[in-house]
Amino acid sequence: MDLHHTARGSLVLTDAIRQYAEDKFQKVLDHHSFGIPIQRAFFTYGIERYMHKFTILVYASMHLKIRAEASTKDLYASIDAAFSILEAKFKKYHDLVKEHHKKSGSINQHLLWEDDTEIINREIDSENFKEMKEALLPPVTRNSKQILKTLLLEEAIMKMELSDEPCMVFKDERSLNLMALYKRHNGTYGVSEVVEPD
């Protein structure tokens, strides 16, 4: 497993800090990872607005990305808090997988009703119109490439919750259409399906 440490801003990364984070990570893996095979982990340390920020980004072999982050006035407290969040996310993933296997054959459940999708589509259209009205083309601040995965909607929601990403594009396992899943401001999820014109 590869471990990468990065310091941002004016923070000086010492061997003691590195060792502390690696020991905490090993403890989490030994006791709370539920056998999830980890390939790489990135630890990012920084200072933002007089707060010590620590971010963990873990990549597992199942194309799973888990992110945990904490900010406090003390770097060691931030490290402890971030690893507590990571433990909770490992447990949540384990429980979701366990629950998915318990349902045995209930894959055809739909999370969104037809009326909900109409409401979501209207909200998306109104938001798109507002954004176009405010600025024609905002500057692109970040480019990234992602592997297009074939997933069930439930799996996509689970991956998005674990990675703290605001949106995700995937291929639906049932319809084989391209889907865009995004987190709304009220904590619910919206889904947009890309279909061919008639």
Task: Return the domain boundaries, the chain.
Answer: 2-102, 114-194
Render pLDDT for 104-156 as a digit per residue (tens, 0 to 9): 554 444 444 444 555 655 666 666 666 656 555 556 677 777 788 899 988 88
Looking at every residue in the chain, the average pLDDT score rounds to 81
Which pLDDT band holds residue 5 (cuts at 50, 70, 90)?
very high
pLDDT at residue 135 in the model: 52
> Pairing state of beta strands 2-7 and 38-48?
parallel
**Residue 54: pLDDT over 90:** yes
Is-same-fold flag (2-102; 114-194)? no
**Rounded mean pLDDT, 66-76:** 92
Contact, 52 vs 14, CB < 8 A?
A: no
Render pLDDT for 6-53 as a digit per residue (tens, 0 to 9): 998 888 999 999 999 999 999 988 887 777 788 889 999 999 888 999
pLDDT at residue 59 in the model: 87
pLDDT at residue 72 in the model: 93
pLDDT at residue 109 in the model: 45
Tell me which range, 3-7, 35-39, 191-195, is most confidently predicted by mean pLDDT.
3-7
- What CATH number labels 114-194? 3.30.505.50
The CATH H-level superfamily of 2-102 is Ribosome hibernation promotion factor-like (3.30.160.100)
**Residue 184: pLDDT over 70:** yes
